[in-house]
Protein backbone atom coordinates (compact mmCIF):
# COMPACT_ATOMS: atom_id res chain seq x y z
CA UNK A 1 0.00 0.00 0.00
CA UNK A 2 2.84 2.39 0.85
CA UNK A 3 4.45 1.66 -2.50
CA UNK A 4 1.15 2.46 -4.22
CA UNK A 5 0.85 5.69 -2.25
CA UNK A 6 4.33 6.82 -3.26
CA UNK A 7 3.59 5.85 -6.87
CA UNK A 8 0.49 8.01 -6.82
CA UNK A 9 2.56 10.87 -5.41
CA UNK A 10 5.12 10.63 -8.19
CA UNK A 11 2.49 10.40 -10.93
CA UNK A 12 0.30 13.24 -9.69
CA UNK A 13 3.21 15.39 -8.61
CA UNK A 14 4.44 15.55 -12.18
CA UNK A 15 1.57 17.89 -13.01
CA UNK A 16 3.19 20.41 -10.69
CA UNK A 17 5.72 21.21 -13.41
CA UNK A 18 2.89 22.31 -15.70
CA UNK A 19 1.36 24.41 -12.94
CA UNK A 20 4.67 26.08 -12.15
CA UNK A 21 5.12 27.05 -15.80
CA UNK A 22 1.49 28.16 -16.13
CA UNK A 23 1.69 30.32 -13.01
CA UNK A 24 4.82 32.10 -14.28
CA UNK A 25 3.13 32.70 -17.65
CA UNK A 26 0.18 34.23 -15.77
CA UNK A 27 2.50 36.78 -14.18
CA UNK A 28 3.14 35.26 -10.78
CA UNK A 29 6.64 35.07 -9.33
CA UNK A 30 8.32 31.77 -8.40
CA UNK A 31 7.79 32.59 -4.71
CA UNK A 32 4.07 33.27 -5.21
CA UNK A 33 3.76 30.11 -7.26
CA UNK A 34 5.42 28.03 -4.56
CA UNK A 35 3.26 29.51 -1.79
CA UNK A 36 0.16 28.69 -3.84
CA UNK A 37 1.11 25.01 -3.93
CA UNK A 38 2.13 24.96 -0.27
CA UNK A 39 -1.06 26.54 1.06
CA UNK A 40 -3.73 25.76 -1.56
CA UNK A 41 -2.64 22.29 -2.65
CA UNK A 42 -5.44 21.42 -5.02
CA UNK A 43 -4.45 21.31 -8.66
CA UNK A 44 -7.77 22.17 -10.26
CA UNK A 45 -8.15 25.29 -8.14
CA UNK A 46 -4.59 26.42 -8.75
CA UNK A 47 -4.85 25.94 -12.52
CA UNK A 48 -8.18 27.79 -12.57
CA UNK A 49 -6.80 30.80 -10.74
CA UNK A 50 -3.72 30.97 -12.96
CA UNK A 51 -5.84 30.57 -16.09
CA UNK A 52 -8.28 33.35 -15.23
CA UNK A 53 -5.50 35.76 -14.25
CA UNK A 54 -3.56 34.90 -17.41
CA UNK A 55 -6.67 35.74 -19.44
CA UNK A 56 -6.96 39.17 -17.83
CA UNK A 57 -9.71 38.27 -15.37
CA UNK A 58 -10.23 39.84 -11.97
CA UNK A 59 -9.07 38.36 -8.69
CA UNK A 60 -12.71 37.81 -7.70
CA UNK A 61 -13.42 35.79 -10.83
CA UNK A 62 -10.23 33.79 -10.38
CA UNK A 63 -10.94 32.97 -6.74
CA UNK A 64 -14.58 32.18 -7.54
CA UNK A 65 -13.57 29.68 -10.20
CA UNK A 66 -11.01 28.14 -7.89
CA UNK A 67 -13.48 27.85 -5.03
CA UNK A 68 -16.05 26.04 -7.15
CA UNK A 69 -13.47 23.53 -8.35
CA UNK A 70 -12.15 22.92 -4.83
CA UNK A 71 -15.52 22.68 -3.10
CA UNK A 72 -15.64 18.89 -3.60
CA UNK A 73 -12.83 18.52 -1.06
CA UNK A 74 -15.31 19.62 1.62
CA UNK A 75 -17.45 16.57 0.87
CA UNK A 76 -14.36 14.36 1.03
CA UNK A 77 -13.54 15.79 4.45
CA UNK A 78 -17.01 15.00 5.78
CA UNK A 79 -16.65 11.41 4.61
CA UNK A 80 -13.16 11.01 6.06
CA UNK A 81 -13.74 12.71 9.42
CA UNK A 82 -14.86 9.54 11.28
CA UNK A 83 -12.12 7.51 9.61
CA UNK A 84 -9.20 9.79 10.43
CA UNK A 85 -10.39 10.97 13.85
CA UNK A 86 -7.95 13.87 13.94
CA UNK A 87 -8.16 16.79 16.37
CA UNK A 88 -6.51 20.13 16.94
CA UNK A 89 -3.76 21.19 14.56
CA UNK A 90 -3.80 17.76 12.91
CA UNK A 91 -7.32 18.48 11.69
CA UNK A 92 -6.07 21.59 9.87
CA UNK A 93 -3.25 19.60 8.26
CA UNK A 94 -5.68 16.84 7.30
CA UNK A 95 -8.03 19.35 5.71
CA UNK A 96 -5.20 20.78 3.62
CA UNK A 97 -4.20 17.40 2.21
CA UNK A 98 -7.73 16.03 1.66
CA UNK A 99 -7.73 15.67 -2.12
CA UNK A 100 -8.95 13.18 -4.72
CA UNK A 101 -5.98 10.84 -4.41
CA UNK A 102 -5.68 10.71 -0.62
CA UNK A 103 -9.43 10.18 -0.30
CA UNK A 104 -9.55 7.36 -2.87
CA UNK A 105 -6.62 5.55 -1.26
CA UNK A 106 -8.09 5.90 2.23
CA UNK A 107 -11.55 4.65 1.27
CA UNK A 108 -10.07 1.73 -0.64
CA UNK A 109 -8.67 -0.03 2.44
CA UNK A 110 -10.11 -2.91 4.45
CA UNK A 111 -10.04 -1.33 7.91
CA UNK A 112 -9.74 2.11 9.56
CA UNK A 113 -6.10 1.58 10.50
CA UNK A 114 -5.05 0.92 6.93
CA UNK A 115 -7.28 3.78 5.75
CA UNK A 116 -5.46 6.24 7.98
CA UNK A 117 -2.09 4.91 6.88
CA UNK A 118 -3.06 5.12 3.19
CA UNK A 119 -4.42 8.63 3.61
CA UNK A 120 -1.33 10.08 5.25
CA UNK A 121 1.20 8.31 3.04
CA UNK A 122 -0.63 9.32 -0.14
CA UNK A 123 -1.18 12.88 1.06
CA UNK A 124 2.46 13.25 2.07
CA UNK A 125 3.79 11.79 -1.17
CA UNK A 126 1.58 13.95 -3.39
CA UNK A 127 2.31 17.05 -1.30
CA UNK A 128 6.07 16.54 -1.52
CA UNK A 129 6.27 15.79 -5.24
CA UNK A 130 3.66 18.40 -6.22
CA UNK A 131 5.55 21.16 -4.43
CA UNK A 132 8.93 19.99 -5.71
CA UNK A 133 7.62 19.89 -9.28
CA UNK A 134 5.99 23.31 -8.87
CA UNK A 135 9.32 24.88 -7.93
CA UNK A 136 11.10 23.16 -10.84
CA UNK A 137 8.41 24.25 -13.30
CA UNK A 138 8.41 27.84 -12.06
CA UNK A 139 12.19 28.22 -12.07
CA UNK A 140 12.44 26.55 -15.47
CA UNK A 141 9.81 28.82 -16.98
CA UNK A 142 11.45 31.89 -15.49
CA UNK A 143 14.84 30.88 -16.88
CA UNK A 144 13.36 30.52 -20.36
CA UNK A 145 12.15 34.11 -20.39
CA UNK A 146 8.89 35.00 -22.13
CA UNK A 147 6.71 31.84 -21.77
CA UNK A 148 4.82 32.64 -24.96
CA UNK A 149 7.94 32.01 -27.06
CA UNK A 150 7.79 28.35 -26.09
CA UNK A 151 4.04 27.94 -25.92
CA UNK A 152 4.01 27.72 -22.12
CA UNK A 153 1.08 30.12 -22.00
CA UNK A 154 -1.00 27.15 -23.24
CA UNK A 155 -0.10 25.07 -20.16
CA UNK A 156 -3.36 25.81 -18.33
CA UNK A 157 -5.82 24.73 -21.07
CA UNK A 158 -3.60 21.75 -21.91
CA UNK A 159 -3.58 20.62 -18.28
CA UNK A 160 -7.36 20.96 -18.00
CA UNK A 161 -7.82 18.87 -21.13
CA UNK A 162 -5.55 16.21 -19.65
CA UNK A 163 -7.70 16.14 -16.50
CA UNK A 164 -10.95 16.11 -18.47
CA UNK A 165 -10.15 13.44 -21.07
CA UNK A 166 -10.29 10.37 -18.77
CA UNK A 167 -13.71 11.40 -17.48
CA UNK A 168 -15.10 11.73 -21.00
CA UNK A 169 -13.74 8.30 -21.96
CA UNK A 170 -15.19 6.58 -18.87
CA UNK A 171 -17.27 3.46 -19.41
CA UNK A 172 -17.97 1.62 -16.16
CA UNK A 173 -18.01 2.72 -12.52
CA UNK A 174 -16.01 0.69 -10.01
CA UNK A 175 -18.06 -1.41 -7.64
CA UNK A 176 -16.39 0.19 -4.63
CA UNK A 177 -13.72 2.63 -3.58
CA UNK A 178 -11.08 -0.11 -3.54
CA UNK A 179 -11.41 -0.43 -7.30
CA UNK A 180 -11.00 3.33 -7.62
CA UNK A 181 -7.71 3.30 -5.78
CA UNK A 182 -6.48 0.52 -8.02
CA UNK A 183 -7.56 2.35 -11.13
CA UNK A 184 -10.02 -0.37 -12.12
CA UNK A 185 -13.14 0.47 -14.04
CA UNK A 186 -14.73 3.81 -14.80
CA UNK A 187 -18.31 5.08 -15.11
CA UNK A 188 -21.23 2.74 -15.97
CA UNK A 189 -22.51 2.90 -19.50
CA UNK A 190 -25.87 4.31 -18.45
CA UNK A 191 -24.20 7.20 -16.59
CA UNK A 192 -21.16 7.71 -18.82
CA UNK A 193 -23.09 10.27 -20.87
CA UNK A 194 -23.58 12.56 -17.87
CA UNK A 195 -20.00 13.95 -17.77
CA UNK A 196 -20.15 14.47 -21.53
CA UNK A 197 -23.43 16.36 -21.30
CA UNK A 198 -22.06 18.53 -18.51
CA UNK A 199 -18.92 19.24 -20.57
CA UNK A 200 -20.93 20.01 -23.71
CA UNK A 201 -23.41 22.34 -22.00
CA UNK A 202 -20.59 24.04 -20.10
CA UNK A 203 -18.62 24.57 -23.29
CA UNK A 204 -21.66 26.09 -25.03
CA UNK A 205 -22.27 28.49 -22.14
CA UNK A 206 -18.60 29.52 -21.99
CA UNK A 207 -18.24 30.05 -25.75
CA UNK A 208 -21.43 32.11 -25.86
CA UNK A 209 -20.25 34.39 -23.04
CA UNK A 210 -16.60 34.86 -24.02
CA UNK A 211 -17.28 37.72 -26.48
CA UNK A 212 -19.57 39.67 -24.12
CA UNK A 213 -18.25 39.14 -20.56
CA UNK A 214 -14.96 39.80 -18.74
CA UNK A 215 -12.39 36.98 -18.44
CA UNK A 216 -13.30 34.50 -15.73
CA UNK A 217 -17.04 35.01 -15.94
CA UNK A 218 -17.56 32.34 -18.65
CA UNK A 219 -15.80 29.79 -16.44
CA UNK A 220 -18.07 30.59 -13.50
CA UNK A 221 -21.19 30.57 -15.66
CA UNK A 222 -20.20 27.23 -17.21
CA UNK A 223 -20.69 25.64 -13.79
CA UNK A 224 -24.41 26.09 -14.35
CA UNK A 225 -24.17 23.18 -16.80
CA UNK A 226 -24.14 20.78 -13.86
CA UNK A 227 -27.43 22.14 -12.54
CA UNK A 228 -28.97 22.08 -16.01
CA UNK A 229 -28.07 18.43 -16.63
CA UNK A 230 -29.16 17.32 -13.14
CA UNK A 231 -32.48 19.14 -13.46
CA UNK A 232 -33.23 17.67 -16.89
CA UNK A 233 -32.58 14.03 -16.01
CA UNK A 234 -35.44 13.62 -13.50
CA UNK A 235 -37.84 15.25 -15.94
CA UNK A 236 -37.06 12.61 -18.57
CA UNK A 237 -37.97 9.82 -16.17
CA UNK A 238 -41.44 11.10 -15.49
CA UNK A 239 -44.25 9.23 -17.26
Q: What is the reported pLDDT for 133?
A: 92
SS percent in the chain: helix, strand, coil, step 5: 75, 0, 25
pTM, two decimal places: 0.68
Q: Is the pLDDT assigned to residue 172 strictly greater than 60?
A: no
Name the average pLDDT for the chain.
77
Domain with 97, as residue range(s), is 2-235
Q: How many structural domains are present in the chain?
A: 1
Asked which of 44-53, 65-74, 138-147 is least confident by mean pLDDT, the reply is 138-147
Reported as half-sphere exposure (CB side, CA atoms, 13 A), residue 71 has a value of 7
CA distances from 224 to 10, 76, 110 (A): 34, 22, 37
User: How many percent of the chain have pLDDT more than 90?
Assistant: 18
Residue 58 is classified by DSSP as -
pLDDT tens sequence across 176-196: 444 444 443 333 444 556 667
Q: Is the pLDDT assigned to residue 6 strictly greater than 60?
A: yes
CA 48 to the chain's CA centroid: 9
pLDDT tens sequence across 61-108: 888 878 877 887 888 888 898 889 888 899 999 999 998 889 888 888
Q: What is the reported pLDDT for 216?
A: 65
Distance, in Å, from the CA atom of 215 to the CA atom of 54, rounded to the nearest integer, reads 9
Amino acid sequence: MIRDAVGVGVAVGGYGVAFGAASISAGFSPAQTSVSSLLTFTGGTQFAIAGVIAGGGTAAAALGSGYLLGARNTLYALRLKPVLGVRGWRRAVGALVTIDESTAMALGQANPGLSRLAFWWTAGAVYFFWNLATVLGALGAQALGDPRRFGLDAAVPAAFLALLAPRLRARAVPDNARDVSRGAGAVPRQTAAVPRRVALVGAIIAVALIPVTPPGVPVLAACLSLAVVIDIRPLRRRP
